[in-house]
Amino acid sequence: MRYRRIGLSVFGFIAIVSVALASAVVWLFLTNPVTVANAVNEGEVSPLVRSLAEALYTALLGILRYL
């Protein structure tokens, strides 16, 4: 029973993180398509990761303001 609760907690955490990352990627595709196109064309992912991290950080700050 104890392992089941731990497993469900880990699964829930992974699901929440996956949804947050997927949402940030979709937001990045919609708001900054040039960065995404350049990253795909050149194979350089650092600008894409930087923009993704910035979008996640901004979203987290917005959520924390309401708390």
Euclidean distance between CA atoms 28 and 21, whole angstroms: 10
Q: Residue 8's pLDDT is what?
A: 78
| Whether the model pTM is above 0.85 | no
Contact at 8 Å (CB) between 56 and 24?
yes
In a domain, 12, yes or no: no
**Range of 27's domain?**
18-66
In a domain, 13, yes or no: no
Residue-wise pLDDT tens digits, 4-52: 777 778 888 899 888 888 888 888 888 888 877 887 788 777 887 888 8
Tell me the CA end-to-end span of the chain in Å, nearest whole number: 33
* Position 1 pLDDT exceeds 70: no
In a domain, 49, yes or no: yes
The alpha-helical segments, DSSP class H, found in 1-67 are: 2-31, 33-42, 46-66
Number of domains present in the structure of the chain: 1
